[in-house]
Amino acid sequence: MKIIRDLFHGWDIPLEIYSVWVYAWTAMTNQLTFGTNIYEEDWDCAIILDACRVDALQQVATEYEFIEVVESRVSVGSTSKEWIFRTFVNDYLDEVNETTYITDNTFSRDIEANPDGIFNYVEIKETVLGRRREHANKLFETKVVDIDDFGGYDPVWKYMSDNNPYGSTSLPSDITDKAIHIGRNEDPDRMVIHYMQPHDPFLARAIDTGVIEEFERRPFDEMRAGNVNREELWDSYLDNLRLVLDEVERLLSNLDAEKVVITADHGELFGDVLHSHGPGILHPDLRKVPWVETSAQDTDNCSPDPIIRDSEDETDAEQRLKDLGYL
């Protein structure tokens, strides 16, 4: 895993040690709660901004009227799968039954099938423990719900990302269109809308110019190689955050929800040593996530024509994870 190999110049031994920690941490948090599950809070619609840091949202908050106060919570995960497997659990089954989950995050596939259980983290799959994860999974029963337990489930990553010519995530405008359509036509009790931005690739400039630079496509690889500095990367990250917040603004004026929260699954690391994110990492810039409370009212100022899912033309999950730098 690159975030660990950064520390030890590519050695594999530290990665093996890290895998032991991930297994121990995963086993412990499968029994004990760490962080605040979003279902502990009161909301009708939860908007998840993937890899959004508290200080990033605070920096752009004055540009958006719907952001009055940026609070924070401690996330239940430091990477998306960890967040998903600690959020949608049987302890909150009644709430999950009421929830329509619209997600552009590929790790929702592990709720659909969960073929390798709670220890199936792509970051450590080539370690000794990673190759033997099926044995560890026999020792622990996962608490994650079944996909059929959701009131509704729309894995938009499977069929929307091909509409984005600049990277493997879906365009946030497409996610908004689908969320508005479902909100109006299905009227779910609760909605969780999981955008992939501000997670890379950084799309904002590319959408304007029609060209995406390599540091926008694979920012942390380029940062490790010394091809881009932190300041330039941070500015692109903020622009990617603005890109999705513009869509959140449109969503809030075309959806009826008395209590809306805007938060993140985890943060992001831009440090001199550690970059990006991974499971079982307790760094506060990963575990501390923003929390904004607002509301939504449908003013019917747009009439979206969302992309419809075609199961014959779905994105390959492994290829998408590879494009996002997980494999």
Where is pLDDT greater, at 113 or 19? 19
CATH code of residue 194: 3.40.720.10
Tens-place pLDDT, residues 117-128 = 778 888 888 888
In a domain, 172, yes or no: yes
What distances in angstroms separate CA 88 from CA 76, 168, 312, one per listed residue? 11, 25, 28
Tens-place pLDDT, residues 220-278 = 889 888 899 999 999 999 999 999 999 999 999 999 999 999 999 999 998 756 678 88
- Report how many helices (DSSP H) and strands (DSSP E) the chain contains, helices first: 14, 9
In a domain, 23, yes or no: no
In a domain, 4, yes or no: no
For residue 145, which amino acid is it? V
In a domain, 8, yes or no: no
Check pLDDT > 60 for residue 194: yes
Check pLDDT > 50 for residue 4: no
In a domain, 187, yes or no: yes
pLDDT of residue 87: 97
Separation between Cα atoms, residue 199 and residue 325, nearest integer Å: 11
Number of structural domains, the chain?
1
- Name the residue among 225, 222, 218, 149 with its Cα closest to residue 190: 149
Q: What is the overall mean pLDDT for the chain?
A: 89
Check pLDDT > 50 for residue 9: no
Separation between Cα atoms, residue 197 and residue 211, nearest integer Å: 18
Lowest-confidence region among 14-18, 40-44, 183-187: 14-18
Separation between Cα atoms, residue 317 and residue 21, nearest integer Å: 26
Are 167 and 323 spatial neighbours (Cβ–Cβ below 8 Å)? yes
Q: Which domain holds residue 221?
A: 38-114+144-306+318-323
Percent of the chain topping pLDDT 70? 93
In a domain, 297, yes or no: yes
Query: How confident is the model over 306-322, as a mean pLDDT?
Result: 74
In a domain, 283, yes or no: yes
Are 75 and 287 spatial neighbours (Cβ–Cβ below 8 Å)? yes
In a domain, 79, yes or no: yes
Check pLDDT > 50 for residue 295: yes
Here the tokens at position 12 are 């594999």
The interaxial angle of helices 230-252 and 172-186, nearest 10 deg, is 20
* The model's pTM: 0.92
What number of residues does the chain have?
A: 327
